[in-house]
Structure 1
């Protein structure tokens, strides 16, 4: 009885100490998370709330000059989704995003596998690959606009010198050529980002895995299909989601090259929102377009997280 009585206080003190340790650890985690949470609420949460409230009001230059904009509810969203302008911009956005992602990822993956091999000046070439990504998009777009000019552009001059075309190609002024021209430039800008992340993922693969596969008789194609690609798949998902979100929301390349023309052939949802806000001063409709972009980006991120969770449980 005495020994049991002596053990009871010891057990209670141990459980109390464990509870204090858990509370202390929770407080430390909260202290580390607090700055990040405050940053997200201040610089992401507040602008998002302001954008939603703006989309629910008749926020135009005339209305704002006279005072507070009247409340309209979801009227801007309903009219936006029912407009032909939105449907055309959404279709163009889908083509622009899909074409850019496919080209960026394919070329980036090929370059990542290429740079995985050691060769002279390999580090220098990898460093130079980052230049398109580091350059300001305004400078990049201006340079490409000069090169793709139908009359004096160097691209048409080279094609004529090689006798590949007989007439000037309207890269930026043709309704069919303009969209693929902006896809080309956006691909050129995004290739370094894809290459850098995929190259880091390839470098993280243990060399013993490849050596074991080669000893089992795996050739280059089977080695990539059954060893390299499964190990790259998580990083590939992150790269594709980030690339899609950036392409959806960034109007820079299109605005500098074509301004959304000709005849709306390159008008994406991002450039449509820019035009609504800064050309027509329809801030409520621009905010509604921005809400659509945020929703699409959120859906893509959630689909990626769901795919990652399913892969972990397999």
Structure 2
């Protein structure tokens, strides 16, 4: 009884407030992860999902995935998709953030309008770009033809050589506002006196950027890139709506291929194994993000 009373002391009241969130995470996050991990170590298909024996086969599913050319292609596509989006989003986002630091008319309204791509649901954006990249009625082909750059319509979403570029373009458009806002927030923390002192010493704009802006923005840039990697690496709905992983598996990511294995091919154990590969990679990146955050707080 004394132990129960001691637990309800004022010092432990924070644990009671955190208990509902802990139980929620345990049930809706912890249990699915553990269940998915167990499923990946078994041989579960549509035939023995409800009834029948689930044989424990260890890491055979992971070994099978490593010899699956579609899985290897999905892994490569995921890395290509993530790195391409991160680089372009960061460069354009940084340029727009520097632009909006200038004092000019309509800066605030334009900055607010820039958030529209981020606020629109992903599936809606995917449908918009799917129509834009349509072969016959798409506005992309219309403008390219009007400018005299092409003579025949490009099959953006039905050709393996151009489908990935179209998907990457759509995701870049979504991620630019996120980069712009975070970089703009980081720029506001740099004292203006540093730029004024540098100008007095004869520093030009390029020197100010590389000697003041970039070093003082290092923690923000690192956090932004890690967060962007996590958000981009697990993209699913946009790719599924635009291409469904096709044509000829050319746009399959780890997320879409895991879905295909589980809910289209009904190879549940293989699908869970692919999902676990995605989870492990994101966990490693998450650890890096936590280290960067803790390092930034200490500094």
Work out which of the residue numbers 276, 279, 284 in structure 2 matches 1:299. 284
2:62 paired with 1:77:
yes
Structure 2, unaligned runs of 5 or more: 1-8
- Does 1:49 pair with 2:28? no
Structure 2 equivalent of residue 89 of structure 1: 74
Which residue number in structure 2 is paired with residue 245 of structure 1? Answer: 230
Instruction: Determine if contact 1:60/1:69 at 8 Å carries over to the other structure.
Output: no
Match of 1:275 among 241, 256, 260: 260
2:110 is aligned with 1:115: no
Give 1:30 deviation, angstroms: 4.3
Contact 2:82 2:233 in 1 (8 A): yes
Q: 1:42 to 1:235 in 2, by over 3 A?
A: farther
Aligned-pair CA distance for 1:303? 3.5
1:103 is matched with which residue: 76, 88, 103? 88
Do the aligned partners of 2:239 and 2:251 also contact (CA within 8 Å) in 1?
yes
In 2 relative to 1, CA 213–30 (structure 1 residues): closer, same or farther, beyond 3 Å? farther
Superposition CA RMSD, Å: 2.3
TM-score normalised by length of structure 1:
0.85
3-state SS of the aligned residue for 1:71? coil
Listed as ranges, the matches of 1:62-211 within 5 Å are 62-67=47-52, 69-211=54-196
Paired residue for 2:4? none
In 2, Cα distance between equivalents of 1:255 and 1:68: 33
Aligned length, in residue pairs: 292
Which structure features the higher share of helix residues? Answer: 1
Give the distance between the partners of 2:275 and 2:83, measured in 1 at CA: 20
SS at match of 2:269: helix
| Structure of larger gyration radius | 1
In structure 2, what is the Cα distance between the partners aligned to 1:68 and 1:241?
42
Out of 35, 43, 49, the residue aligned to residue 58 of structure 1 is: 43
Q: CA deviation at 1:112?
A: 1.1
Distance, in Å, in 1 between the alignment partners of 2:30 and 2:191 is 40
> Unpaired segments of 5 or more residues in structure 1?
1-23
